[in-house]
Structure 1
Amino acid sequence: MTAVPVTPLRPAAPPLSVAATLRDLTARLAHSRHYDIGFPGAVDLVFPELAELMTGHLLNNVGDAWGDPGHGVNHTKDLEREVVTTIGGLLRAPRDCWGYVTGGASEGTEHALDEAWQRYPDIVVYTSAAAHYSVAKAARKLKLQLVIVRTDVTGRMDVADLAGELARRRERPAMIVATAGTTMTEAIDDVAAIREVCDDLAIIRRRIHVDAALSGVPLALLPEGQRPAFDFAAGATSMVVSGHKFLSTLMPCGVLVYAQSPYRNADTRVSYTGSADTTITGSRSGHTPLILWTVLNRVGFDGLRERAEASRRLADYTHKHLCELGWDAHRNPHAFTVTLPSPPSGRLGRWVLADDGRLSHVICMPGVTVGQIDEFLNTLGHGPGRRRLLRSRAADATAVLSSAV
């Protein structure tokens, strides 16, 4: 018998080495955070009151959020249910909505596609060319036919093109994945118009899922007259928002909400966990519902609304001054995101922007400051359409700061 070589165990690192590594990581993250204005992760909220719960307890929300396990108390499912119903209420879901806290918005979209496929095995998935890449990935994993719909110049789904694609397959059930806050331009698909197209074509076997990862909560906090038709009242059957984007949970998570539970009549209980198997993963973090619950209750809707408005003011400021510098910048209504033609990499210095090869964007998330934007604009300099010196922005900066939270 040939002896199998045994890999020796790695010796424990000396305590000083561990401390130095963590210290260097902290310094690196603090330095890079200043220059990262291209990706939508808010980091302005911190949670010192959760220190003991975050570091001293295993919290496992295994299985369905709406049934506590028959053993143990190391979970936060009661808080998770409050998070789902609170977010559901913001999105104008029915009172008896269902959902759970996911590992991110992509998991929520995959769950929605999987639920739709289980109900309608011959379903076709429709989404826009500007949708998140996870939609195509989930369709591929589930082996579902995927149809890509054109977008307009702002990045919104072209509802006329969707109507044409749906009409070609009227005999098939449809799963339309709309987006509230597309990746590059933060465009908002018109869910009410999507519902009307389905009604006009008599497509009754349908699902309308809305990926509202970034924009769902900020849009829901707008005054009624300004709020786009993107939510359950507009026709959505399921929606997902991210926690680590606008809500600043500091670790990836999402909140998936269905208008009604798709499992009311299903017997999916797993005997040894004491919980129904209704989620993509088995074990789920009990810490992320805890953080989400803390944000919603400590900051409150008024505080969240103030954060959103401060971000919009800063986005307006950024858009205005990019245009003054000669950049062909654009910003959709209510967006934190400002797009511009992709600058040459040598013009950016240390600044991190998202770039799809044609456009780049700045996202004025809560926590980004006027000072950061001014520093970025000074680094970027004039645009290709206008060669002149960067003029003073002191008056505008003062106005933004005076109205900030």
Structure 2
Amino acid sequence: MKNHVDPGAADIPFGPADAPWQSSFSDLSLITEIPDVTAPSSEPRQTYDAVTETPYGRFQLPAGGLTADQYTAAENLFRSWLEQRCRISAGFQINADLDYQQRLSPYLGLTLNNAGDPYQTGAYTHNSKILERAVLDYFASLWNVKWPHRRDDPDSYWGYSLTMGASEGNLYGLWNAREYLSGRLMLLSPQGSAEPAPATGPNGAGGPGSNGYHPVLFFSQDTHYSLTKATRLLGIDTFQDVGRRWFPDENPLAPGTPWPAEVPSVGGADGDGMIDIDRLAVLVQFFASRGFPIVVSLNYGSSFKGAYDDVEAASRKVHEICANHGLDERPVHRGHGRSGTFDLRTGYWVHVDGALGAGYVSYLEMARRAGLVEATPPIFDFRLPTVHSITMSGHKWLGAPWPCGIFMTRTRFQMIPPRESEYIGSSDTTLAGSRNGFSPLLMWDHLARHSYDEQTRWAAECDRMAAYAHSSLRALEKELDLDLWVARSPFSLTIRFRRPAAWLVQKYSLSYETTYADGRRRTYAHLYTMRHVTRDLIDELVRDLRLPDAFVAGDFVAQA
């Protein structure tokens, strides 16, 4: 047998029958001896049962597989557990009101792979690209950009269906921004063009080898962690990276102090979560004046506070500053000199992370016009010429059994993919290459069955439910005479409050986050009033929060 393990490890009880791991090989007829596989090095249940609510042994997979009775018992146990979790899940921005099973289950017997560009059928013909194009056109219309997509029309949109959620859209958006601002070849660049030399260091604004091809990234302290992960994966410098490296004592927000990691939010860690546009302007001014191209990622429904950055005001300010320093529109010359062909490009890129908000607020705007709500966040979409790209998650507002989403930009901002792929018969213009073809089917199904009217009523109802949850938790504060730190950011569908005991966090799948305000620690939980969250569920949570063991003392202590 392969590997060097404790001889007794092969006798570890394994699977629903609690039989020794190696005994399941005796159930096989083709394989007459233990093959070259690795035995467990220790008891898996001792490791996994500590982090799960159900007995792991029921789901283990011995070499002989599960009997029909074992499979039925395990599947029923998992399904009942999951149905219960979904019914009372209130802490994450997902829509658990799903009804795809009856119509779409036949597709589980078919393969769907949307390999390559959505607008090229390609050699892999069993795909859902025809539905993907319909979904993308739908959102192009909703987000006010010229459609349909045409490769020969630079003002038309281009986009694709994400295999992951908005985190993939953020990653792709920052990759596109990096390539665009670094002077790499664009899809619509003249044939035979050459790329400029890469940036080297702080040499002033100008040609190749200067700051002019060294993008600098800005995002707020309330931005989703995927932005930090994306910067590391892509090697994009944040303003802190460049500031520490070349301007260590010149932090313009507070000279002589260390550079912050992110742009501060209004009110700091305990504020409502919108980016501080005045401080963003100070930081952008510092780097734009030195010739660095600017990348700004704005939040439109941030993950924890549900905050909406003022995309219109922030992107306008970025444009104005960049225009003052020749970065509003600049020629990017091909090759190593200033002769020959060139592209006219902006010297900045504004990306909108609209994981929830980009799928929701367009309908909330319709609700305002219909008199169902009084106000909505500032606009975020391609009505703003200063916005370059938008991403959203399909599993949040629309609802899907797995993460999915949309990325969108304008055709004129598309970059040439690193390599053309003859193998798939399509340009590989997306991040994943092979892409999940089921997600466009799910999104198409949802949008085909639910009109603007329905989506508008849902948006208004979710907004009302957020107001109800907020008032219910505020009333509980008075009843308990306990500061629960209840807060709702403007227009948000999330209400944050003091984190309750662990059993309540588990019961309602509550997300939580620790902040520091005035040297004191606050650990918040929050709930999201997505479509499946009803008054009854909110009332049930409030009843549980009323119990004597609902909160643990000491959650508001001095910072060490």
- Provide TM-score, normalisation by structure 1: 0.88
| Contact 1:99/1:261 (8 A) holds in 2 | no
Relative to 1, partners in 2 of residues 1:287 and 1:184: Cα closer, same or farther, differing over 3 Å? same
1:215 equivalent among 351, 357, 372: 357
Quote the residue 2:309 is aligned against: 189
Q: 1:5-404 maps to which residues of 2 (within 5 A)? A: 6-7=36-37, 10-47=63-100, 48-53=102-107, 55-69=108-122, 71-95=123-147, 96-102=156-162, 103-121=164-182, 122-147=214-239, 148-152=262-266, 153-170=271-288, 171-201=291-321, 202=323, 203-204=327-328, 205-223=347-365, 226-227=375-376, 228-234=378-384, 235-263=386-414, 268-326=419-477, 327-345=484-502, 350-357=507-514, 358-381=523-546
Other structure's SS at 2:541 match: helix
Change (3 A) 1:214 1:19: same
C-alpha distance in 2, partners of 1:173/1:380?
49
Give structure 2 stretches of 5+ with no counterpart.
Answer: 5-34, 39-61, 148-155, 183-213, 240-261, 329-346, 369-374, 478-483, 515-522, 549-560
**Distance change in 2, residues 1:58/1:238 (3 Å):** same
TM-aligned CA distance change 1:337 to 1:3, over 3 Å: closer
Find the aligned partners of 1:16 and 1:349 in 2 and give their Cα distance: 30
Q: Provide the C-alpha distance between the structure 2 equivalents of 1:155 and 1:382, rounded to a whole number of angstroms.
A: 31
Maintained 8 Å contact 2:215/2:236: yes
Cα deviation per residue 1:153-201 (whole Å; 9 max; x = unaligned)? 2100111111111111111111111010011111101111122212221
Amino acid at match of 2:158: W
CA pair 281-150 structure 1, distance change in 2 beyond 3 A: same
Tell me the equivalent position of 1:388: none
Aligned-pair distance for 1:348?
A: 5.6
Whether the 8 Å contact between 1:232 and 1:259 is mirrored in structure 2 is no
Distance in 2 (alpha carbons) for counterparts of 1:68 and 1:272: 13
Q: CA deviation at 1:263?
A: 3.4
Question: CA separation in 1, counterparts of 2:411 and 2:134?
Answer: 16
> What displacement does 1:347 show?
6.3
Whole-angstrom CA distance in 2 between matches of 1:23 and 1:293: 30
Calculate the aligned-residue CA RMSD, in Å.
2.3
Q: Structure 2: how far apart are the matches of 1:32 and 1:123?
A: 43
For the pair shown, which has the larger CA radius of gyration, 1 or 2? 2
Structure 1 Cα separation of the partners of residues 157 and 140 of structure 2? 7
Per-residue displacement from partner, 1:132-152 (whole Å, max 9, x unpaired)?
Answer: 100010011111112411101
Structure 1 regions of 5+ residues with no counterpart? 384-405
Which structure has more relative contact order (CA 8 Å, sep 6+)? It is 1
Percentage of identical aligned residues:
28
Residue identity opposite 1:13 in structure 2: L
Q: What's the secondary structure of 2:399's corresponding residue?
A: coil
Per the alignment, in what secondary structure is the counterpart of residue 374 of structure 1?
helix
Please state how far the C-alpha of 1:112 moved relative to its aligned partner. Answer: 0.8
Displacement of 1:269 in angstroms is: 3.2
Aligned length: 380
Secondary structure in structure 1 of the residue aligned to 2:542: helix
CA distance in 2, matches of 1:63, 1:281: 8
User: Where does residue 245 of structure 2 map in the other structure?
Assistant: none
Between the aligned partners of 1:188 and 1:88, the Cα distance in structure 2 is 21
SS state at 2:414 partner: coil
Structure 1 contact 116–207 (Cα < 8 Å) conserved? yes
Corresponding residue number in structure 1 for 2:51: none
1:206 and 1:281, CA in 2 relative to 1: closer, same or farther beyond 3 A? same
